[in-house]
Structure 1
């Protein structure tokens, strides 16, 4: 699987679950159901039911003060979405547009490719984002 698509699945799972307890939950549910309806119509109704169950579980976990459930549910949806993208890679663009529409701050960052060659006692420090180096 394309690494960017795998990253997109992770972003989508986290974004979806985070929106299920907000006012945008119905829009998120409708968007994911539409994605499935186009890619795997035979699974669309089951996905809708799974989303409703996920929302109920998440609301109950918040009332109970269980912070781990959100991450677990996001991981479950990441897996579902990843599997969808593996079987239907053409759904990648539609998913990216949906996530951008639902939460523009969740946009997937471009892939970073880094190469370095060191010799002797050289040191190389690379990072795709923030990096703090403390020399001792």
Structure 2
């Protein structure tokens, strides 16, 4: 698989696991199932069950972001596999990760960070951020 499709699968996986246990989950789950629609009924049901199980793990976890990070690799592999088997799924996955105006299927990510009274904001989406400060 070429790098572009691998990157698309990874971005798709990030969208899927980031949406688990959030208000966006239903739309992202449906969009993910659309990617798998040509895989047959049994495969699609298995994917739906896996998505539900994974979302429950995230929802019930003490550290949901750690669970999301662990699930990222699994979903990147699953999405890459469907792209290899069904090149037409690329359009469905692209719609999921980019969303569509009016009939948005992917998440709309908005981040607002405000520091007040001499405060400092460190913010990141889809990843880790490590901040080292000199001891005072």
Q: TM-score, normalised by structure 1?
A: 0.69
Instruction: Kindly report structure 1 stretches of 4+ aligned residues shifted beyond 4 Å.
Output: none
Unaligned residue ranges in structure 1 (runs of 5+): 106-136
Counterpart mapping for 1:59-98 below 5 A: 59-61=59-61, 64-65=62-63, 67-98=65-96
**Deviation per residue, 1:88-133 (Å, 9 max, x gap):** 122112210121111356xxxxxxxxxxxxxxxxxxxxxxxxxxxx
Taking the aligned partners of 2:64 and 2:96, their CA distance within structure 1 comes to 28
Aligned-residue offset at 1:60: 1.7
Partner in structure 1 of residue 40 of structure 2: 41
Q: Which moved more, 1:90-99 or 1:10-19?
A: 90-99
**Structure-2-length-normalised TM-score:** 0.69
Distance 2:71 2:22 in 1: 16
Distance 1:40 1:24 in 2: 24
Structure number with greater Rg is 1
In the alignment, is residue 50 of structure 1 matched against residue 54 of structure 2? no
What is the CA RMSD across the aligned residues, in angstroms?
Answer: 1.5
